[in-house]
Amino acid sequence: MSSKSWYLDNPTLFQQIKDDVSRNFPMMITFTVNDVVLIRGNLQLYDNTHHEIDQYTIEIELPKSYPKGIPVVREINNRIPKIPDRHVYDKGGLCLFLLEEKWKYYKEGTSIVDFINGPISLYLLGQSFFEQKGVFPQGERSHGVKGIVELYTEILQTDDTEIIKTFVEYLCEPITRGHWPCYCKSGKKIRNCHMNILAEYRNKIEPEIAMNSLTYLLREEIDSKKK
Amino acid sequence: MEQEEYFQKILKLHKVDNDGEEMKEIQSTKEEVEAIILGNFEDSSPTIRYGGSKAKNTMIIDSYDLDMVCYFNHNDNSAGTSLKEIYENIKNCFADNYIVEPKKSAIRLISKDTKKDLHIDVVPGRYVDDTKTYSYIFQAEGEKERMKTNLDVHIKNIRDSGLTDVVKLVKLWNIRMGLNLKTFILELLVVKYAKKYKDDPLSKGLISFWEFLRDHEDFSIEDPANPEGNDLSQILNQDVRQFLSMSASNVMTLVDNNNLDSIFGSTEPISGEEKTEAIKTVFAGYSDPPKPWSSSYE
């Protein structure tokens, strides 16, 4: 692997991002600081008839592994309080969605323009709505492990944490063995039970992301045993 | 809409209302701050007055920090013998009433009850001599521990420049673009490079300033109160100048395309109720919009 930053390795992609950003978001600028690519400036949010609803000053930090990884997005004018209830980390990073849902909202090949127009704009519109009404119009995930359990409950149609944990463990494995007991506790081998669902989500959720969630689930298990 | 009309309307939208809640709160905190200083240093009569954008008439609602200077007489040691001691003692005298956040030369005050930033910076210092023209202020960072300055020169340089409206919109641009450039640097840039437009309409001065930044990367500024002693080239280094130039180039593209609303937004912002309705309509177009999450409980 090259030791150079991705934008030096791939100047064409870097130039394309610069051009796309400046064409679509003229008050935003793409530049580099300490080998990190940042996109910073004013993002105006519009309704379906192109009437301005609101505007935010944001900064998008592209990961060093770009185009792999999810960019970090920050609101940099201190408008949104940096608290979990507003879905903002201490250092200002916005929690746009659960990492598990990357396949839906930041799938491979998603352009920066689509990312800004999609998850980022929707998140900020949600914040504008929250300022007025105190709720998020799109709903919100519970904080921490509860949000993770909510997502897997939707996928597996059960809130049995044992089933969820086994499913997530299987997602962490590099390959699936058909003779493994099915995560659903039916006693059958997975090849004769829910192999199709596991295969579907193995394609959608990366092992590293599943591993991150498994850590949350195990920590929660240890904490509840202590109690 | 014509350029002049657009920029005038934006200026009006971002004007600080002297009778508004924010200013009333700031005024009342200012009085409280004065009382605390005078109460702690009863034998002194420091000069406590406005500095910064309030004195320079360049405040905008998006950035309404209030600078208050507190200068002790040159032979007055009641708050400390060194500048560092003065800074520390002034900082400590606020400890019972506020959360204090030390900055390079100033002390930022934060409410103890609400943890709200009060947008007040107190800058302690000491006059150089009896004439009370120049003063020394402490610098917690950087090579030099003290900086010589002249508040009146700074204030006059901006307030009487004829360019305060241009400065206000350049400050707004700074905030909107996330340029993060210190306000006094922007002010000095405007006054130096838009000087010849001081009698022209606002739009002419503003656009000419952006044009200048777009077309140059070798601009520089000097501290008018101490041009020899205070080197500002580190703050306005090549990266910063390049970034300013790029940002100006972008904004000038919008000006040239007469796409003014994209610069500072609409001159007729929608009401809160209209906003929530519009947002609901946007979300109605999504069957499964991303739901925000947070990894932490706290």
- Tens digit of each residue's pLDDT (9 = 90 or more) over A145-166: 999 999 999 999 999 999 999 9
Q: Read off the pLDDT of residues B248-276 as tens digits, 9 standing for 90 and up.
A: 999 999 999 999 999 999 999 899 999 99
**Total beta-carbon pairs less than 8 A apart between chain A and chain B:** 155
Cβ separation B291–A141 shorter than 8 A: yes
Neighbouring CB atoms inside 10 A of B247's CB total: 26
pLDDT-derived band of residue A31, with 50, 70 and 90 as boundaries? very high
Residues 4-33 of chain A with CB under 8 A from chain B are 22, 26-29, 31, 33
Please check whether residue A141 touches B, CB under 8 A: yes
8 Å CB contact between B148 and A46: no
Name the nearest CA neighbour of A164 among A225, A221, A107, A206. Answer: A221
**Residue B16 phi, psi (nearest 5):** -85, 125
Measured distance CA(A166)–CA(A177) in Å, rounded: 14
The string of pLDDT tens digits covering residues A121-145 is 999 999 999 999 999 999 999 999 9
Q: B103 in helix, strand or coil?
A: coil
Confidence of residue B298 (pLDDT cuts 50, 70, 90): very low
Which residues, in sequence order, are bridge partners of residue A73?
A: A60
Distance from CA of A192 to the nearest CA of B (A): 31
Q: Name B243's Cβ contacts closer than 8 Å, sequence gap at least 6.
A: A29, A31, B179
What is the Cα A1 distance to its own chain's centre? 26
Joined together, the tokens standing for residue B120 give: 């007040």
Report residue B127: phi and psi, to 5°.
Answer: -65, 145
Contact assignment for A123 to B292 by CB distance below 8 Å: yes
pLDDT tens column, B189-198: 999 999 999 9
Average pLDDT over chain A, rounded to whole? 93
Average pLDDT value for residue range B77-84: 92
Look up residue A23 and give its DSSP letter.
H
The per-residue pLDDT for range B174-188, each reduced to its tens digit, is 999 999 898 889 999
Global ipTM: 0.91
Q: Is the distance from CB of B56 to CB of B67 less than 8 angstroms?
A: no
CA pair distance A67, A72, nearest whole angstrom = 13
Place of tokens 């998603």: A110
Q: Indicate whether B108 pLDDT > 70.
A: yes
Spatial strand order of the sheet with A28-33 comes to: A28-33, A36-46, A52-61, A72-75
CB contact under 8 A, A84 and B250: no
Residue A188 sits at the chain B interface (C-beta within 8 Å)? no
Span A48-64, average pLDDT:
94
| Average pLDDT for chain B | 91
Residue with tokens 């000491």: B126
**Residue among A42, A48, A144 minimizing CB distance to B177:** A42
How confident is the model at residue A223, as a pLDDT? 82
pLDDT tens digits along B125-168: 999 999 999 999 999 887 788 989 999 999 999 999 999 999 99
A65-104 burial, b at 16+ Cβ within 10 Å, e below that, comes to: ebbeebbbbbbebeebeeebebbbbeebbbbbbbbbbbee
DSSP run (H or E) holding A124: helix A121-133
Are B297 and A54 a contacting pair at CB < 8 A? no
